[in-house]
């Protein structure tokens, strides 16, 4: 696991400065505290910070082929590197270390741009081909590892994080108003955009080639819509899923440093721990969880039960508002692009807590997007029934009654669910899920920012990813949308930044290539059967997990923000969203912000999602700057 950066100037006579490359590289030190590596050749420079996981002593980067005409760096892990290496050795390639990254220059020599087809892992990599004078970038299939880039007629700059790019004086720092609106709508910024103009994210499953001053980007893999062969039976699907998931877990147990697992007590993380216990003695497994003082948000009891069931060594810590003053500046410091997901805070605490014991942790990320685990998938099913209710009954009876429900601050309270459901129902299906999960809708953004934006523009990614979906796939296109947007640019971004800020590597077996390729085309009714979410996974695990774990209500890593804004964090919100400050910055209508905050503080509405999204942007802006 590492952080990588690179510079390629268009003019051959312009040399990359060592001091500047080192300065950029140093911003990524938390991602790789164990070592630094640089390679420079005239107008090309590559660098990385290394977190030593495999071949701790000998696995330095950059790595090269035998004649050093191909140079490679990588942030991530290639889980099938041993098989690939054996194949390459039989063809005469020679290796000098045991690191997974060393296969990259040799594999590229053999297969050219098709080298990515062989990789199973999480990675953001760069390869310099000195013979062809071209630079290749590639990002893993699901987007677990980040890769930003900026290009113009002067050259190409790339890095694992924005802060590394911003350390170069020629990289712009101008906020993109369209990206800001998308952040306010989604609570994250969907790829390929970033918060800054002309800085982009390489999308998951894509490679890029820079040659002769031109940048070419191409998709090399996509999540499959439907299978190509005979559809398995339900029993066969359970057996195949169990086989592939066990293999995925075993691949992620390869490590030369201490290893553990996140454990919430939900079915996803519990499944991962159960399969770890099949491969590793339970006493060697360490699990970690975060609890909350507010009962409706707390899952720690379930995590403790699962840990006891498998006899693993369990560690738990409690998160409360009193820990916010010290934690928030740390989060803003590593979160160099705004993210409105409040669970970044307990994720950061969990990562830091876990890192005190291990260097690698397995997690359950991806389970909800593969098996329709979110309550929005249930909402989508209810939407079909609700649309059949006569319009007069909806408009004059049901919706007025819901609007009169008292405001609640408990986890996913009834009034919140019903009001959020109605907010999303105003939009067609491609936009509905974003409206349910996000913060601001188009007309609200116009009031907040003074900029008019249509739903088609704001939610354009939903149209893009929904294009071409076969009509007979039921909800699989909705799952595809979540994998391409929410999973990639919220969940995986959150986990990557929080974990790498404290030098912890997190691995996600559910997002193994072979697991995703098998599961995604399976019938949607096997994932959401009636109103039972994760049906196939629950069937598969029914002999391994108790019913109170298999069938308990979906919790999620939510934070009691609504109550905290009114009490412990009130002063911080009043300062961050102060009218004079908002007016001076010029991004938002101060009156609209004040209205939202006052309505929430007075208990007239629950605007926690909107206010937190604004609060995080304001804190990000103060730390990372940028002009309107």
Catalytic residue numbers read 2
Name which of 159, 128, 137 is nearest 20 in CA terms.
159
Beta-carbon contacts of residue 177 (< 8 Å; ≥ 6 apart): 449, 451, 628
DSSP state of 94: -
Q: Which residues contact 551 (CB under 8 A, 6 or more apart)?
A: 538
**Cα Rg for the chain, rounded, in angstroms?**
24
The full DSSP string for 22-87 is: HHHHHTTGGG-BSEEEEEEETTEEEEEEE---SSTTT--SSEE-TTS-EEEEEEEEETTHHHHHHH
Helix (H, G, I), strand (E, B) or coil at 218: strand
- Cβ-count burial of 107 within 10 angstroms (0-12 exposed, 13-18 middle, 19+ buried)? buried
- Please state whether beta strands 70-78 and 63-64 pair in parallel, antiparallel, or not at all (unpaired): antiparallel
Q: Which two tokens stand for residue 373?
A: 């685990």
Query: How far apart (Å, rounded) are the C-alpha atoms in residues 383 and 378?
Result: 9
What's the rounded Cα separation, in Å, for the pair 96 and 268?
39
- Region of 317 on the Ramachandran plot (φ > 0 left; ψ -120 to 50 alpha; else beta): beta
Q: What are phi and psi of 159, to 5 degrees?
A: -165, 160
Residues 379-398 as b/e (b if ≥16 CB within 10 A, e otherwise) read bbeebeeeeeeeeeeeeeee
Helices (H), 252-374: 267-279, 300-310, 324-334, 344-355, 367-371
Q: How far apart are CA 207 and CA 215, in angstroms?
A: 10
């Amino acid at each position: 696991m590492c952080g990588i950066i690179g510079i390629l100037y268009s003019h051959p006579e312009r040399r990359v400065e060592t001091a500047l490359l080192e300065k950029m590289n140093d911003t990524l030190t938390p991602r790789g505290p164990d070592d630094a590596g640089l390679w420079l050749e005239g107008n090309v420079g590559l660098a990385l910070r290394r977190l030593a996981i495999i071949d701790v002593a000998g696995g330095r980067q950059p790595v090269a082929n035998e004649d050093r005409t191909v140079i490679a760096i990588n942030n991530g892990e290639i889980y099938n590197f041993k098989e690939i290496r054996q194949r390459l050795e039989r063809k005469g390639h020679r290796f000098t270390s045991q690191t997974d990254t060393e296969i990259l220059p040799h594999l590229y020599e053999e297969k050219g741009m098709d080298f990515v087809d062989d990789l199973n892992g999480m990675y953001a990599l760069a390869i310099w081909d000195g013979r062809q004078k071209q630079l290749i970038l590639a990002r893993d299939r699901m987007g677990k590892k980040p890769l930003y880039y900026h290009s113009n007629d002067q050259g190409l700059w790339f890095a694992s994080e924005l802060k590394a790019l911003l350390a170069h004086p020629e990289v712009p720092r101008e906020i993109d108003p369209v990206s800001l609106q998308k952040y306010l709508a989604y609570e994250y910024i969907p790829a390929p955009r970033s918060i800054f103009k002309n800085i982009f994210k390489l999308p998951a499953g894509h490679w890029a080639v820079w040659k002769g001053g031109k940048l070419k980007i191409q998709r090399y893999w996509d999540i499959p819509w439907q299978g190509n062969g005979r559809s398995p039976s339900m029993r066969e699907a359970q057996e195949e899923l169990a086989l592939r998931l066990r293999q995925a877990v075993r691949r992620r147990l390869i490590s030369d440093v201490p290893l553990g697992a996140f454990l919430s007590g939900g079915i996803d993380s519990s499944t991962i721990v159960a399969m770890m216990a099949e491969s590793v003695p339970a006493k060697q497994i360490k699990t970690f969880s975060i609890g909350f003082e507010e009962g409706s948000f707390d899952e720690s009891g379930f995590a403790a039960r699962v840990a006891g069931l498998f006899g693993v060594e369990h560690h738990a810590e409690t998160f409360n508002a009193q820990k916010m003053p010290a934690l928030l500046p740390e989060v803003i410091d590593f979160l160099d692009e705004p993210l409105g997901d409040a669970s970044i805070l307990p994720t950061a605490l969990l990562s830091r807590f876990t890192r005190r014991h291990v260097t690698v942790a397995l997690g359950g990320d991806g389970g909800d997007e593969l098996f329709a685990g979110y309550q929005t998938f249930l909402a989508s099913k209810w939407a079909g029934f609700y649309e059949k209710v006569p319009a007069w009954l909806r408009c004059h009876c049901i919706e007025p009654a819901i609007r009169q429900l008292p405001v609640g601050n408990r986890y996913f309270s009834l009034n919140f669910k019903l009001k959020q459901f109605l907010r999303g129902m105003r939009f067609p299906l491609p936009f509905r899920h974003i409206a349910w999960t996000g913060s601001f809708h188009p007309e609200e953004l116009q009031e907040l920012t003074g900029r008019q934006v249509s739903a088609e523009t704001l939610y354009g990614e939903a149209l893009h990813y929904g294009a071409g979906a076969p009509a007979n796939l039921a909800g699989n296109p909705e799952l595809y949308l979540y994998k391409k947007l929410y999973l990639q640019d919220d969940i995986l971004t959150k986990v990557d930044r929080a974990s790498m800020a404290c030098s912890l590597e997190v691995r996600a077996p559910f997002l193994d290539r072979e697991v995703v390729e098998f599961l995604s085309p399976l019938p949607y009714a096997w994932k959401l059967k009636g109103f039972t979410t994760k049906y196939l996974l629950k069937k598969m695990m029914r002999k391994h997990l108790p019913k109170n774990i298999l069938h308990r209500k979906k919790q999620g890593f939510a934070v009691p923000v609504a109550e905290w804004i009114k009490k412990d964090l009130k002063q911080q919100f009043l300062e961050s969203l102060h009218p004079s400050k908002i007016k001076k910055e010029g991004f938002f209508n101060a009156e609209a912000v004040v209205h939202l905050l006052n309505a929430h503080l007075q208990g007239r509405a629950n605007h926690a999602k909107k206010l937190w999204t604004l609060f995080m942007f304001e804190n990000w802006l103060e730390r990372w700057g940028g002009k309107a």
